[in-house]
Structure 1
Amino acid sequence: MAAIKDDTTRAFVAEAIQCHESGLYRSAIVMSWLAAVSVLHNEVMANYLAAFNAEAKRVDGKWKAAATTDDLGRMKEVDFLDRIVAIGIIGKNVKAQLASGLTLRNGCGHPNSLKVGANVVAAHIEMLLMNVFDKFST
């Protein structure tokens, strides 16, 4: 976790770990997803903002150019994933895994009867570690 430079992202990861260790599996899914999105938002801001805004505007003429990470949060996460694939930040296979993670996050983040266990959480976090944190956080 020391390799994660951004304080906000590090706090999300720490909370996700605490949730997992406490058996709060749905919360661990939600917090780890927030951490991954934070990393991806930071990557866009640092290295791809102009390309991202151009692609977002191309797809949606009403898009108001993002200038901050909070501005990026105005976009639905599924659309955000589509934009970052289009500009080459991630590939289609990584996007497919992240979209699956987003679906799991949505299932865990809203009232319903979904149950998840330690192994599902571990697999989710491992996928985020390998495809987001290790690639963009160091």
Structure 2
Amino acid sequence: MKIVEYLAPLRTASQQAQVLASMYFIEKTEGKTTFTTADIRAALAEARTPNVKNWNVAARLSASGHLVHANGAGAHRTWELTDTGRVEIEAWAPSLSISAPAVAKRSEASALRARVAAITDTEARAFASEAVDCLDVGAHRAAIVFMWVAAVHEVQERLWNTSDGKSITTAAQSHNPKAKVCKKRDDLSEYNEELLLQVAHDLGIIDKNEKSELIKALGLRNSSGHPNKLRPGEHRAKAHIEDLITMLF
């Protein structure tokens, strides 16, 4: 069902009812739970709602009382439906039939996005977010590669923040005498990723089991990032993302 179909029976309803119903529809069909006023206006425009550009969406939300909850302020404010809001909307809005597999998939994506949002490092979070975006559209090899980049960034950050260049260099050159002398954070990118994991293990950044699992993840990343016949499925890509988040973030 498209949003234009869902909102059609509410065309003569109040602006507030149409705003709330559009939030409910997107939440149920896409798994999105927080909205800016721009998100809502775009949804109403997609439904070809007359004169929506003149609606004061923020005012309609503010007048919705306990049916919605606001997060943040000003330009960064987002809105979400409350549990009470969902119940009340279901009482008067058109029924919405969605297949169980589709609901489950959106729920899984939403759970992954929540875990990614909790990653504190900005760069790692951005890469992990792109991995989930790729997973969402079926680009499984790209999802695996982006999540690995997030993992490598995290290992590099931990190494640099907890060890000094001399210790890192000594550990690296014990495995590869030609390894670059580490004088600054960016020098870590000169180490191949297997060596980086070995150094991280030697310096206590990761333990033996984590190293073993990360080596496996590196192998999957290498297979996914080079031309070959590997076609990782959704479950394999999703497990890769979940495992790296669990281990490192």
Scaled to the shorter chain, the TM-score interval is 0.7 to 0.9
Asked if 1:42 corresponds to 2:157, the answer is yes
Specify the code of the residue in structure 2 equivalent to 1:109: G
Q: Kindly indicate whether the alpha-carbon contact (under 8 Å) linking 2:180 and 2:191 is maintained by their aligned counterparts in 1.
A: no
CA drift of 1:87 comes to: 1.4
Matches within 5 A, 1:52-63: 52-63=168-179
CA drift of 1:43 comes to: 0.7
Counterparts of 1:49 and 1:10, CA distance in 2: 25
CA drift of 1:72 comes to: 0.7
2:118 matched to which residue of 1? Answer: 3
Matches within 5 A, 1:76-87: 76-87=192-203
Cα RMSD (Å): 1.5
2:130 matched to which residue of 1? Answer: 15
Specify the code of the residue in structure 1 equivalent to 2:148: W
2:243 matched to which residue of 1? Answer: 127
TM-score (norm 2): 0.51
Task: Report which of the two structures shows the higher radius of gyration computed on alpha carbons.
Answer: 2
1:70 to 179, 183, 186: 186
Q: Kindly indicate whether the alpha-carbon contact (under 8 Å) linking 2:201 and 2:211 is maintained by their aligned counterparts in 1.
A: yes
Matches within 5 A, 1:27-38: 27-38=142-153
Counterparts of 1:48 and 1:23, CA distance in 2: 39
- Name the % identity: 38
Specify the code of the residue in structure 2 equivalent to 1:15: E
Specify the code of the residue in structure 2 equivalent to 1:4: I
Q: How many residues align?
A: 133
TM-score (norm 1): 0.88
Higher relative contact order (CA 8 A, sep 6+): 1
Asked if 1:88 corresponds to 2:204, the answer is yes
